[in-house]
Structure 1
Amino acid sequence: MAADFELTFLGTGTSVGVPVIGCPCRVCHSEDPRNKRTRSSIHLRSGDLSILVDSGPDLREQALRENLTKVDAVIYTHSHVDHVVGFDELRAFCWHREEPLPLHATAECMATIKNMFGWAFSEENIYRGYIKPAPKIIEGPFTLGHLEITPLPVVHAKADTNGFLFQSSGHPSIAYIPDVKRVPEETMPLLRQADILIIDALRTAPHPTHMSTDEALEVIAKAGVKRGYLTHLSHESDHHELSAILPDGVQVAYDGLKIRG
């Protein structure tokens, strides 16, 4: 029997979140809760397994909102601050663990995390209550519980960046790419294995390191997925207005939205 599966959008915002500090725009002052966007991250539950993708600066708020009490592994997409700087909040998930917490990342991303939080990786980190990381370098597909996880290399600024394809027997396969400007041709065949694609769509206007709405829609169509979700959204996109212009099968993601399989 296939394990129960659930994906939760912990955050769907860009690096500064929405509302933006000091911004007078109507989206930042919107009363629609779907326009309140913390930094992008997802949580996956597969049976009893609890997986976090990225540990952004809003992790504490996100975990409290979703009553997240256990994390069995963390997977990192890349080393940018809005995806790693909530690292210290992971200690709450280490207090009741006897084993170190597995952290999966590329060699470049892991080196950045170790440089930023060197104390956690030190041999002198012997105190209970501190984060005890178990670094796992991503070099290809790997498995966590019932989930088969395939890295999806993409182009995003100068950072070594991955999306991920999550596959589990009996459930829709989901590709998650929160930060991307271009999907290389060699990655497209992997995207075509997905039933659902969650992808970066920062704003309607072009951006040098993130996809625009039209660019994201083009990749969704090219991948031929059944459903698409737009994430990593800025304050230039109003949830209701953006939803109104999207094709059938594509939705605007929002904080707290769940996909169950």
Structure 2
Amino acid sequence: MSPDVEVLLLGTGAADGIPNPFCRCDTCADHRDRGELRTPTSVLIDDRLLIDPGPESPRQVSRYGRDLTGLLAILAGHAHSDHLDPAILMHRSWVTQSPLEVVGPEPVVAWSRQWLDGDQSAISFRSVTAGDTVDVAGYRVTVLAANHEAFGEACCYLIEDDSASVLYATDTGLLPESTLAALAGRRADLVLLEETFGPNTDKGGRHLHLATFAETVARLRGLGVVDEGTRVVAVHLAHDNSPLAQLGAELADVGAEVLADGTLITLG
């Protein structure tokens, strides 16, 4: 990493994004009226590490004036299609055979391998599990258990180097105690924490809503992961949330913020 770390929020929405084209709720109407499109959550770090590339990630990258010619690795948390569309590997193979590593839990690796056609020796795969610490594209990545399931294991990640650290935590419900223990004392400059369901508390425990989001931020603050210098950004937002102005106020109450797709965050 350079002294400044660039974290580009390619998308901040849940699987169906906001607005959902089949919906006229207040939140979808608010986004339409303001001309804002919130696409599935994906992140690009320093143009070389792509996290959770769903089916819209190639267009997300192009929309914000970037390219993936310098990409070294893909890191995926689980094998759901909004977080990993392995077709990106096939499309990449049409123009380059430069080395690329694909990292994730075993279902991610197994699904991705199916998209290789012919000689794809330039693409390597690394299966990881909670508790691992690995080097990915020059970053130290600590693999953390998520409270989620996707044809097997789902993971969150702490991504670090000597200048900055990012906690990427989606999809997950309340973090397992093993994950909180692994994070104790490990400060993050940026926390990208899912907040899928807003005020709705009856949609299961595999995603966070406002109350469990607030509980998670409080736990992270108590462990030293979050302090006054940490930015906490809500991602994986579904239209269950309030319209933007109200959501911003709700998140501010717990020391978090909501940002638009395409926001560039500089750390370091």
TM over 0.5: yes
How far 1:98 moved relative to its partner? 3.9
Find the counterpart in structure 2 of residue 153 from structure 1. Answer: 145
Q: Deviation digits for residues 84-116 of structure 1, max 9, x if unmatched? A: 12x2234554556443421001112212333xx
Cα deviation for residue 156 of structure 1 reads: 0.9
Q: Percent identity at matched positions?
A: 25
SS of equivalent residue, structure 1 residue 82: coil
The aligned length equals 246
- The 2-side partners of 1:119 and 1:110 are apart by 10
Distance 1:93 1:260, change over 3 A: farther
Cα distance in 1 between the residues matched to 2:258 and 2:80: 23
Q: 1:254 aligns with which of 252, 257, 260?
A: 260
8 A Cα contact 1:2 1:169, kept in partner: no
Secondary structure of 2:147's counterpart equals strand
Q: What's 1:141 paired with?
A: 133
Matched, 1:243 2:241: no
> Is the alpha carbon distance of 1:131 and 1:239 closer, same or farther for their aligned partners in structure 2, counting shifts above 3 Å?
farther
Point out the structure with the larger strand share. Answer: 1
Give distance in 2, aligned partners of 1:2 and 1:11: 24
Deviation at residue 175 of structure 1 after TM alignment? 0.3
Equivalent residues in 2 for 1:106-185, closer than 5 Å: 106-114=105-113, 118-120=114-116, 122=117, 125-126=118-119, 133-139=123-129, 140-157=132-149, 159-171=152-164, 173-185=165-177
Paired residue for 1:40? 41
The aligned counterpart of 1:187 is 179
Shift of 1:41: 0.9
Once the two structures are superposed, residues 17-75 of structure 1 have per-residue CA deviations (whole angstroms, 9 ceiling, x without a partner) of: 111122122322323355x2111111111xxx611001201112201112231221100
Distance in 1 of aligned mates of 2:93 and 2:66:
13
Question: How big is the shift at 1:164?
Answer: 0.7
TM-score (norm 1): 0.85
Q: Does 1:8 align with 2:11?
A: no
Query: Cα 1:223–1:66, aligned 2, differ >3 Å: closer, same or farther?
Result: same
Displacement of 1:227 in angstroms is: 2.6
- Post-superposition offset of 1:145: 4.4
TM-score by length of 2: 0.83
Structure 1 residue 253: Cα displacement: 3.2
> In the alignment, is residue 205 of structure 1 matched against residue 200 of structure 2?
yes
Give the whole-Å Cα distance in 1 for the aligned partners of 2:123 and 2:35.
35
Flag structure 1 segments of 5+ consecutive residues without an equivalent. Answer: none
Structure-2 change in CA distance of 1:165 and 1:33 (3 Å):
farther
- One-letter amino acid matched to 1:67: G
C-alpha RMSD of the superposition: 2.3
Q: 2:233: which partner in 1? A: 229
Matches within 5 A, 1:11-30: 11-30=11-30
Give deviations 1:112-139, integer Å, cap 9, x for gaps.
Answer: 333xxx241x5xx14xxx8953211124
Gaps of 5+ in 2: none
1-side partners of 2:12 and 2:53: how far apart?
13
Question: Distance in 1 between the 2:26 and 2:122 partners?
Answer: 43
Amino acid corresponding to residue 244 of structure 1 in structure 2: A
More deviation in 55-64 or 239-248? Answer: 239-248
Most deviating of 57-66 and 156-165:
156-165
One-letter identity of the residue aligned with 1:205: N
